[in-house]
């Protein structure tokens, strides 16, 4: 059973959590754009992710993902 404190933190609404959600969403969209080779979308996703707190290493890890490299 999941403790009740986890539910409180999940449903808490605040700037920090909403910023985190936008950052994660932008990083997911960046990953999707890279995998589908839609490179024209990448600069916008990187800008949004950085604006909402993404660190350089988070973006670099997506850009250097080995799954995108041809075999």
Whole-number Å distance between alpha carbons of 29 and 48: 10
- pLDDT tens across 6-17, in order? 444 444 444 455
pTM of structure: 0.68
Q: What is the pLDDT of residue 66?
A: 77
Per-residue pLDDT band at 65 (split at 50, 70, 90): confident
DSSP of 1-55: ---HHHHHHHH---HHHHHHHHHHHHHHHHHHHHHTT-GGGHHHHHHHHHHTT--
Per-residue pLDDT band at 1 (split at 50, 70, 90): very low
- pLDDT tens across 26-37, in order? 999 999 999 899
Domain definitions of the chain by residue range: 15-68
């Amino acid at each position: 059973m999941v403790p009740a404190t986890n539910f409180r933190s999940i449903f808490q609404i605040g700037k920090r959590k909403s910023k985190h959600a936008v950052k994660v969403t932008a990083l997911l969209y960046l990953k999707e754009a890279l995998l589908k080779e839609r490179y024209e979308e990448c600069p916008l996703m990187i800008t949004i992710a950085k604006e909402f707190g993404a660190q350089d290493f988070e973006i670099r890890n997506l850009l250097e993902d080995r799954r995108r490299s041809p075999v």
